[in-house]
Amino acid sequence: MNRRALLKTLGAIGLSAELPGTLRSETDPGIDIPADGNIFRSIGVEPIINCRGTFTIIGGSLELPAVRAAMEAASHDFIQYDELAEGIGKRLAAVTGAEWGMVSSGCAAALKHVTAACVTGGDPEKLIRIPDLTGFEKYEVVIPARSRNNYDHSIRNIGVRIIDVATTAELAAALSRRTALIYMLADSPGQPDNPLSLETIVALAKPMGIPVLVDAAAEVLTLPSIHLQRGATIVAYSGGKAICGPQCAGLLLGDKSILSAAWQASSPHHGPGRDNKVGREEMMGMLAAVEAWTTRDHAAEWKRWLGWLDIISKRLNGIDGITMSVIEPTQLSNKSPVLQVNWDPGKFNLTGEELAEELGRTPPRIAIGSTNRDGLTGIQITTGQMQPGNAEVVGDRLRSALARKRSPAPALAAPVMDLGGAWEVDMQFLNGNGRHRFDLTRDGNWLQGTYQGTWAAMEAEGFADGNIFRLRCSYRRPGNQLVYIFVGTCRDGFITGDVHLGEYRTARFTARRPQKPTPKRRFVVPGGPPLAT
């Protein structure tokens, strides 16, 4: 009998569902926590000081104490999930001024659930057919070209046909009875370079009864939501960014009928959203975060963030050759003060990207942004997720790094072999292999050309340094981008090494000259039309 079956049996006969050897006291987490209280070090993972912002890859934001308290309280009792969703929807409506609210397992999941709601209309028979939309009345989603992004994968997961539009005329031509939804990234009113503003889209969509979904993932909350006031049907937020709710929760506000169908399309209900489960703890934690937003002293938070930047900038005062400025953004997305530090890379023998790598890879680890423009390089310190005591550590570390004298990078050594021409590239991915290709031209140490992947032909640029090979390959298409960085060693006619796949981890590669050389043979040029076919 497996564990799940055993637990079910124990529960049915009224016995404890704890298995032998699993009993622990309520205060024992089961992990030896280091003296400094950082649980991640107990498994050999070094924590990070976040001066970068609410990026999911480093944990988004830290939950508010009120959020953690609500999640802890929710973990002690059982509820019926549909009843919980109704109660939360009603409470979110009261707090935010929206018609209804819903908590999802993240903002990306929220986009998926709304799309499912709009193609099914709440019909369970349609729901369980997804992603096969054969016979559906509504199966198209229109997206302004400037709103295409990595997260619209969530919308495409439903199986819809995506139509990109760039002008008002293209939008008008794209809308039809087949249009299930218009999706767009949040914009600001009156942007002169935006031909497809929310107001423009709503003016065309509303008479046709087409809902408009606004993705405001990284925005601060406006109550009532500025996007709903401007005519959007639904607005989606990330719970684990500015709102400081659960990292694995999202927030939807707007039309009650659509959000009711979106909840139907999410877990615990079976169908395409069953894999996006949100727990009662996250649901109550998200509600608590929204309620806390109405009582947080946002002006005091801003003042505290500026104070931390002041501490850091004072640590850097006196370093000859750097300039500093504080940026106080007014936009709703990623709204947090930023310290911009610039310098001449030729004088410091250091780029912002190199400093970001240095600080991010060695303890105490600090995540910062980097910039390169107008002949200057630099870094950005974003305060929104910094914690008390971080500013002093960051300031001291930055001063030490920027005040240090550094030698210029040595000249590149002559390549040990000619890297120009065609190369067969055997890729060893995490769980599979592929045969790809380089086509390179060489100018001294410098390389450029193309990298042919499984399907995509990527632009490639790089250089050789003695027996070291480096090549950066990039590919962009609507909603996606890939960057592969090859680092290898040249030896005996082969290049072997690692491939950094950006957010997609790493791979190994071996490159060799083509096994089957291009034939060298003459051919006859016909003197006219063929005499036979």
Q: Is 342 exposed, middle or buried (0-12, 13-18, 19+ CB in 10 A)?
A: buried
The tens digit of pLDDT for each residue in 92-133 reads 999 999 999 999 999 999 999 999 999 999 999 999 999 999
Residue located via tokens 């802890």: 72
E strand or H helix that includes residue 103: strand 100-104
CA distances from residue 367 to 284, 310, 319, 500 in whole angstroms, order as listed: 30, 18, 22, 19
**Model pLDDT, residue 27:** 54
Q: 53 lies in a domain? A: no
Q: 223 lies in a domain? A: yes
Residue 488 tokens read as 């290898």
Residue located via tokens 């250091």: 350
Q: Is 310 exposed, middle or buried (0-12, 13-18, 19+ CB in 10 A)?
A: middle
**Model pLDDT, residue 272:** 94
113 lies in the same domain as 210: yes
Residue located via tokens 């619209």: 152
| 290 three-class SS | helix
Residues near 65 by Cβ (< 8 Å), separated by ≥ 6? none
Residue 436, CA atoms < 13 Å, CB-side half-sphere: 26
For the chain, list residues with pLDDT below 50: 1-25
DSSP state of 110: H
pTM: 0.89
**Model pLDDT, residue 19:** 38
Q: Is 285 exposed, middle or buried (0-12, 13-18, 19+ CB in 10 A)?
A: buried
Q: 120 lies in a domain? A: yes
- Report yes or no: 473 and 500 within 8 Å, Cβ to Cβ: no
Alpha helices for 274-406 (secondary structure H): 280-293, 298-316, 345-348, 352-361, 390-403
Can you give the CATH number for the domain in which 368 is found?
3.90.1150.180
| Phi, psi (rounded to 5 degrees) for 488 | -140, 175
Q: What's the structural domain count of the chain?
A: 3
Q: 142 lies in a domain? A: yes
153 lies in the same domain as 260: yes
125 lies in the same domain as 266: yes
**Model pLDDT, residue 516:** 76
Q: Is 62 exposed, middle or buried (0-12, 13-18, 19+ CB in 10 A)?
A: middle
d(CA 197, CA 201): 6
383 lies in the same domain as 331: yes
Q: 12 lies in a domain? A: no
Smallest Cα–Cα separation from 157: which of 268, 266, 278?
266
**Model pLDDT, residue 423:** 97
Can you give the CATH number for the domain in which 135 is found?
3.40.640.10
Of 293, 319, 345, the one marking the end of a domain is 293
DSSP state of 123: -
Of 225, 258, 293, the one marking the end of a domain is 293
303 lies in the same domain as 288: no
Helices 352-361 & 390-403, crossing angle to 10 degrees? 130
Q: 411 lies in a domain? A: no
Three-state secondary structure of 448-508 = EEEEECCCCEEEEEEEEECCEEEEEEEEEECCEEEEEEEEEEEECCEEEEEEECHHHCEEE
Residue 100 tokens read as 């209804």
430 lies in the same domain as 473: yes
364 lies in the same domain as 275: no
Residue 487 tokens read as 């680092």
156 lies in the same domain as 79: yes
The tens digit of pLDDT for each residue in 271-309 reads 999 999 999 999 999 999 999 999 999 999 999 999 999
211 lies in the same domain as 148: yes
250 lies in the same domain as 337: no
**Residue numbers of the domain that contains 126:** 64-293
CA distances from residue 64 to 57, 285, 290, 304 in whole angstroms, order as listed: 19, 9, 11, 16
Q: 22 lies in a domain? A: no
d(CA 396, CA 498): 34
Alpha helices for 244-279 (secondary structure H): 256-264
Residue 527 tokens read as 């003197």
320 lies in the same domain as 379: yes
Can you give the CATH number for the domain in which 504 is found?
2.40.128.120
User: Is omega for the bond preceding 364 within 30 degrees of 0, making it cis?
Assistant: yes
Of 249, 266, 293, the one marking the end of a domain is 293
- Angle value at C-alpha 519, between 518 and 524, nearest 5 degrees: 130
Q: 48 lies in a domain? A: no
101 lies in the same domain as 233: yes
